[in-house]
Amino acid sequence: MIDVRPLSALTLATCALAACGGSPSTSPTPSSAGASTPATSASPTQTPTASGPTTVSTGTTALGTVLTTPQGLTLYYFTPEKGGVVACTAGCASTWPPLKASGAASEPSGVTGALGTVALADGSMEVTYNGWPLHTYAADTAAGQTNGQGIAGKWFAATPSLTTNGAAPAAATSTPYNPY
């Protein structure tokens, strides 16, 4: 008898990535600043739900300071969800579980963005930051990992400087004129 479980898991992962605008060959591009190593398995995880008030924290990663769950898992935003439009559903939400709200949202000190919520199809609420629905990534299995950064050019780690228009613009740098 042939064991089809590995094939089924691969098929599920392929479908989930396709539902989120990626492809099985899409993978995060490691940065020279020590990007995290991708996990060997992207099996779907349970949707994170807070047991008390929903808390968003911050953590330090190879990308710098990012928003995290209280357990340290990196939170991501999906560019098609600009303005609080929930676009990651079904298989996508298995790979990119929404951070579900439970009680009043609280944020870490020093974070100036606005936490809110947006309704999901099942009637639950997803936490938003400056209007962006927040997700974890199934392949991030430990605090500080950022395996979802840049996937399909649409998934990015949420930072405290995330604006309603997306990532904060990079600081302008000037190069002094040197004719020699």
Question: Stretch 96-113: mean pLDDT, rounded?
Answer: 83
The pLDDT assigned to 166 comes to: 85
* Domains of the chain, residue spans: 53-162
49 beta partners? 100
Per-residue pLDDT for 142 more than 50?
Answer: yes
Q: What is the pLDDT of residues 14-38, one digit of tens each?
A: 334 444 554 333 333 333 333 333 3
Q: Looking at per-residue confidence, does 70 or 4 come out higher?
A: 70
Q: What is the pTM of this model?
A: 0.68
- Residues in contact with 147: Cβ distance below 8 Å, sequence separation at least 6, in sequence order: 28, 36, 37, 38, 39, 137, 139, 140
Q: Are residues 150 and 35 in contact, defined by beta-carbon separation less than 8 angstroms?
A: no
Does the pLDDT of residue 46 top 50, yes or no?
Answer: no
Name which of 174, 175, 157 is nearest 68 in CA terms.
Answer: 157
